[in-house]
Amino acid sequence: MRLIEALYRLQVTELQLDTIRRDLETLDYGDALEQEMSRLDQELAQDQQTLKQLRQELLDQELELNDMETKMRKMEDLLASGSVRSGREVEHLQKELDELRRRKDILENRMLELMLRIEETEKKLKERREQLERNKERLAQVREKAVMLKEKLTQEQAQLLMERERLRAILPPEVLARYDRLRARLNGIAVAKIEDNLCSACRVSITAEVILALRDPEGLPTCENCGRFLFGEV
Ligand SMILES: [Zn+2]
C-alpha cells in the first residue's frame, strides 16, 4: 500500500470513529418520553383525586335530596289527609312545600352539573390512561432500539479501532504527527482527495510535483495552498 493511501484510509477510519462516538453520545434512551410519562402520571393522580371528591359531593347531594323528598311526601300526605283544618296552617304548609320544591330544583340542577363534571373527568382519566399505555409501549420500543443500536455501534467501533491501530503501525511517527496536527487544525480533514486535478478541500489546482509524488510509493503529496496531504488514484 502506498504511504498516502494508508494515510487516507486512516482518515476515513477515524472520521467513521468520530461519527460513531457522536452517535453513541446522542443515543435516545427515551428520557424525554419518560419525563412526559411522569407528568401524565401526576395529572392522572390529580384527576383521580378530583373524581373522588366529585363523587363524594354527588353522594352527599343524593342523601340531601332523599331527605327533602321524604319531608315533602310527608307534608303532601298531611295536606291530602284533611287533618289540617286551619286555613292559616294549610297556607303555611303550602308555602313551606313551595320553598322545598324550589330548593329541590336548585339541588337537582347542581347534581346534573356534578354528573356532567364527573363524566368529563372520567373521560379525561380514560384518555390519560390510554396515552400512558401508548407511551409505555413506545418507551419499550425506543429502549430496545437504543440497546440494539448501541451494540451494533460498539461492534463497528471495535473493528474500526483495530483498523486504526493497524494503519497507525505502518505509518512513520513524524507523518502521523503532521497528520494529527492537520486534522486538529483543519476541521478533521488532513488528507484531501484530488478531484478533476483540484484539491477537493480548497479547490486549488494541483502541481506536476504532486502527480510525481502520487506515483512514488513513499511519496506524500501536499496541497501548496491549504497544506493538506493529497490523495488520488494512480
Ligand atoms: Zn488544498
7 within a domain of the structure (yes/no): no
pTM of the model: 0.74
| 190 alpha carbon – ligand 1 mean position (Å) | 10
Measure 232 CA to ligand 1 centroid, in angstroms.
13
H-only helix segments in the chain: 3-25, 31-81, 87-170, 173-185, 208-215
**Can you give the residue range of the structural domain that contains 209?**
173-231
Predicted local distance difference test score (pLDDT) of residue 233: 86
Q: Looking at the structure, do residues 53 and 129 belong to the same domain, yes or no?
A: yes
Whether residues 90 and 128 share a domain: the answer is yes
What residues does the ion ligand 1 have nearby, CB within 5 Å?
199, 201-202, 223, 225-226
Residues 61 and 133 in one domain: yes
> What pLDDT was estimated at residue 37?
95
pLDDT of residue 234: 79
Q: How far is the CA of 210 from the centre of ligand 1 (A)?
A: 12
32 and 144 together in one domain: yes
Distance (angstroms) between ligand 1 centre and the Cα of 176 equals 19
pLDDT of residue 69: 96
- Is 6 part of a structural domain of the chain? no
Same domain, 143 and 206: no
160 and 201 fall within a common domain: no
CB-CB contact of 68 with 100 (8 Å)? yes
Asked whether residue 89 falls in the same domain as residue 179, the answer is no
Taking the centre of ligand 1 as the mean of its atom positions, its distance from the CA of residue 192, in whole angstroms, is 7
- The residue from 122, 138, 170 where one domain ends is 170
| Residue 95 shares a structural domain with residue 194 | no
**205: β partners:** 198
User: 193 Cβ partners below 8 Å, 6+ apart?
Assistant: 8, 200, 230, 231, 232
pLDDT at 155: 98
Half-sphere exposure of residue 126: CA atoms within 13 angstroms, side-chain side: 6
What is residue 223's three-state secondary structure? Answer: coil
State how many domains the chain has.
2
Q: In the prediction, which pLDDT does 85 show?
A: 86
What pLDDT is recorded for position 8?
97
150 and 197 in a common domain? no
Please list the residues that pair with 199 across neighbouring strands: 194
CATH number of the domain residue 117 falls in: 1.10.287.1490
Going from the first residue of the chain to its last (234 residues), give the mean pLDDT of each consecutive group of 10, the final group possibly shorter.
Answer: 96 98 96 95 96 98 97 94 90 95 97 98 96 96 97 98 98 97 96 96 94 93 96 89
- Distance from residue 164's CA to the centre of ligand 1 (Å): 24
| Listed residues 170, 191, 214: the one ending a domain | 170
